[in-house]
């Protein structure tokens, strides 16, 4: 991730964003001296996360759970593999795009009736896998508080990717119809998607019938309120293919700015897409974001970057970000000094 595009002065921005607030030490586990340091760190650690393709890698390095648990019986060891430690895919590579293909995620992303696509905007399944690890760690820490014992925990990206599709899987069992690509639309609320205007795109949602009547008034189509095909959300879902083209034709007649003004005037939930401004810049200037102090700008060796603040706030010990992502091996000596570890 340090080298992954896009970069700022040679540093991958994904690495910069994912590692805000952390300290970094880099060790070569095939080097006996570095491995000795790693084992000393394990002795004082609460948690170890092994993100190799399978558990075999750390075992080969002499740092499997059987070894580490003898050094530190309270250690919680998470082995987060690609596809699990059994079966024909054991030891295979996984990453965001491979996980999307493996889990069927790509089959529901793309234009309606079009080819399956990757979700290119975010590393969605990478982050979902990280969340699964965090959940497992919280449970394990809770059990350790009660028992005083550490444990070995297995997760894998393949399973967490499939779990993310739970709602679409439930959709199939509820309707008997295999879900497919829907563009920006939502399967159970209509309309709830992006619409092209004469000069760009806007998005809107009608989460209940109160907003449906407001939308019809805003687009000057009061007849749609009386149309029995669209009187409830369930009926609008059933008649999606008849309703959406009507709305698309209306929105194509004016600019995004005109429609946003009109929709907001009629209290219809809506938003705009910015093609000329960075998302972080737009959010930094948003009244709601500023009021709740949700974003910050951090100075880094690679330039200034915008980042979220901590996702939670405690009343007595407010969370904060004290450092940028670490440079390679930046805190090696500092970490060893903190834990009283001498490197031979």
Token pair 């529901």: residue = 108
Supply the pLDDT for residue 58. 96
* Strands in 19-150 per DSSP E: 47-50, 76-81
CA distance 242 to 236: 9
**Candidate CATH numbers 3.40.50.10540, 1.10.1060.10, 3.30.1360.40, 3.90.1640.10; the one for domain 31-164:** 3.40.50.10540
Q: Cβ(11)–Cβ(2) under 8 Å?
A: yes
Q: Which CATH class is domain 192-272?
A: alpha beta
Domain spans of the chain, in order of start = 31-164, 192-272
Q: What are the φ and ψ backbone dihedral angles of 202, each rounded to 5 degrees? A: -130, 165
Count CA within 13 A, CB hemisphere, residue 35: 13
Query: Angle at the Cα of 169 (from 163 to 173), degrees rounded to 5?
Result: 145
Backbone region of residue 228 per phi and psi (left: phi > 0; alpha: psi in -120 to 50; beta: other values): alpha
Supply the pLDDT for residue 95. 87
Supply the pLDDT for residue 72. 97
CA distance 312 to 307: 14
| DSSP one-letter string for 66-80 | HHHHHH-TT-EEEEE
Supply the pLDDT for residue 25. 96
Contacts of 81 (CB under 8 A, 6+ apart): 52, 53, 54, 55, 90, 154, 155, 156, 157
Reported as a single tens digit per residue, the pLDDT across 154-184 is 999 999 999 988 888 888 898 888 888 999 9
Element spanning 180, H or E: none
Supply the pLDDT for residue 41. 96
Supply the pLDDT for residue 282. 82
Supply the pLDDT for residue 171. 86
Regions of the chain short of the pLDDT cut 70 = none
């Amino acid at each position: 991730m340090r080298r992954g595009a896009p970069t700022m002065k040679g540093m991958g921005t994904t690495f910069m964003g994912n590692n805000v607030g952390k300290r970094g030490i880099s060790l070569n586990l095939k080097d006996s001296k570095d491995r000795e340091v790693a084992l000393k760190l394990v002795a004082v650690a609460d948690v170890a996360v092994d993100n190799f393709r399978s558990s075999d890698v750390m075992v080969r390095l002499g740092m499997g759970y059987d070894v580490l648990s003898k050094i530190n019986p309270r250690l919680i060891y998470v082995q987060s593999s690609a596809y699990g430690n059994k079966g024909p895919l054991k030891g295979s590579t996984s990453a965001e795009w491979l996980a999307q293909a493996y889990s069927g995620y790509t089959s529901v992303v793309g234009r309606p009736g079009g080819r399956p696509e990757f979700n290119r905007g975010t590393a969605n399944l990478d982050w979902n896998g990280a969340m699964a690890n965090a959940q497992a760690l919280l449970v394990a820490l809770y059990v350790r508080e009660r028992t005083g014992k550490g444990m070995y925990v297995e997760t894998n990206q393949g399973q967490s990717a499939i779990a993310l599709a739970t709602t679409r899987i439930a959709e199939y069992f509820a309707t008997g119809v295999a879900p497919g690509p829907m563009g920006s639309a939502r399967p159970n609320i209509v309309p709830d998607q992006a619409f092209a205007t004469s000069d760009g795109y806007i998005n809107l949602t009608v989460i209940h019938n109160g907003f449906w009547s407001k939308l019809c008034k805003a687009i000057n189509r009061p007849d749609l309120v009386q149309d029995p095909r669209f009187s409830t959300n369930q009926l609008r879902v059933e008649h999606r293919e008849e309703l959406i083209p009507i709305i698309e034709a209306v929105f194509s007649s004016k600019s995004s700015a005109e429609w946003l003004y009109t929709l907001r005037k009629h209290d219809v939930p809506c938003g705009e897409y910015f093609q000329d401004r960075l998302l972080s810049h737009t959010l930094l200037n948003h009244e709601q974001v500023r009021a709740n102090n949700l974003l910050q700008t951090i100075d880094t060796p690679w330039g200034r970057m915008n980042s979220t603040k901590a996702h939670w706030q405690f009343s007595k010990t407010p969370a904060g970000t004290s450092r940028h992502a670490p440079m390679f091996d930046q805190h090696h000596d500092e970490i060893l000094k903190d834990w009283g570890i001498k490197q031979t």
